[in-house]
Copies of this chain bind each other. A is one copy, B any other.
């Protein structure tokens, strides 16, 4: 593996963190309210994002320019008192750096010019030169400086399996036929690809940590399409390799929590909770209280409002947010210990979301979660 680029020299001068609620919840420590952020919080539902994107000319123009990436990453924080920022980037940067030729056609999803579908293509795969991803690490460093300690910055990557889905399918899919055919017909090739992906993802996330990321998240967006058994062997096993290889201390000496989110991963919650992550993300099909009981507060949980709730009137948004918070229950247990809950959606926010709904959501989460900390005086 090639060495990651040197950490930016400015790292040690990063400002002290003002709002550490998110990090504390990740580590199941006491917090005055339930911290929240939204997957894809910097995105097309915000007019200011679309303005920046228009300046950048294209999605990749936006994602590969640290200045623009910084601008859009900070936009939702200007509107709302969110408790974390997340790097604006794309999960396909790593396979793009592997030379698969990523493009985004207008009105379509991502597409690879060179999908990986046979033995020769798998044999040609290698952990990419991280210097090709320097724009990501530069963005991380610039965002971290621009945040000036307001809230922590989350870095991220797709999981080895989720990257493999795109690498083999070459585009979005509704049946994952090509990648599953490879998995079942040539498990040896699939394991080789996943081992390379796992090394690449770990190096990529470690370089983000070196550049200033204060938490990292692994998006196993397509783990949930696998069969029981195959999920454990072809997705979770490689996510576990990634987690084991991660630095858990940032350039500033602070602990860096790891979040793993498998969409549709509810059936395997106990196994995911044992993968070494500090936080497990959940989609809206899993009841948070039941999930907490199944994992015995050994990990913090992140989630899990259905993003479609944000198309309802503000009072419904507030009511459903309260229901999610109540399903987790008071973070502090009767025995004095703390469970950790990071409020989020169960998937990325829709591009059609009215921003006013997010206002109602943030207000409801912060205000109601404070009441879950109040012990009524006798």
Which A residues have a C-beta under 8 Å from some C-beta of B? 175-177, 180-181, 184-185, 224, 226-231, 264, 266-267, 284-287, 305-309, 311-313, 316, 320, 323, 327, 346, 350, 352
Contact = CB atoms under 8 A, between A and B. Distances in A.
Contact of A185 (B285, B306, B311): B311
Given A184-B308, A308-B184, A284 B352 contact: no
A180 B306 contact: yes
Contacts of A327: 228
A357 to B, nearest CB: 11
A305 B229 CA distance: 11
Nearest to A352: B177
A189 to B, nearest CB: 13
Contacts of A177: 308, 311, 350, 352
A184 B311 contact: yes
Contacts of A305: 227
Q: Which 10 A-B pairs have the closest CB atoms?
A: A180-B308, A184-B312, A227-B284, A181-B311, A227-B306, A185-B312, A228-B287, A266-B267, A267-B285, A184-B309
B308 A176 contact: yes
Given A286-B228, A323-B229, A313 B176 contact: no
A350 B175 contact: yes
A306 B267 contact: no
A285 B352 contact: no
Given A184-B309, A228-B286, 6 more contacts: A177-B352, A184-B308, A184-B312, A184-B316, A227-B346, A264-B264
22 contacts: A177-B311, A177-B350, A180-B311, A181-B312, A184-B308, A185-B311, A185-B313, A224-B285, A226-B285, A226-B306, A227-B284, A227-B285, A227-B309, A227-B346, A228-B285, A228-B286, A228-B287, A228-B327, A229-B287, A229-B323, A231-B285, A264-B285
B308 A175 contact: yes
A229 B324 CA distance: 10
A262 to B, nearest CB: 11
A266 B176 CA distance: 20
B228 A284 contact: yes
Contacts of A306: 180, 226-227, 230
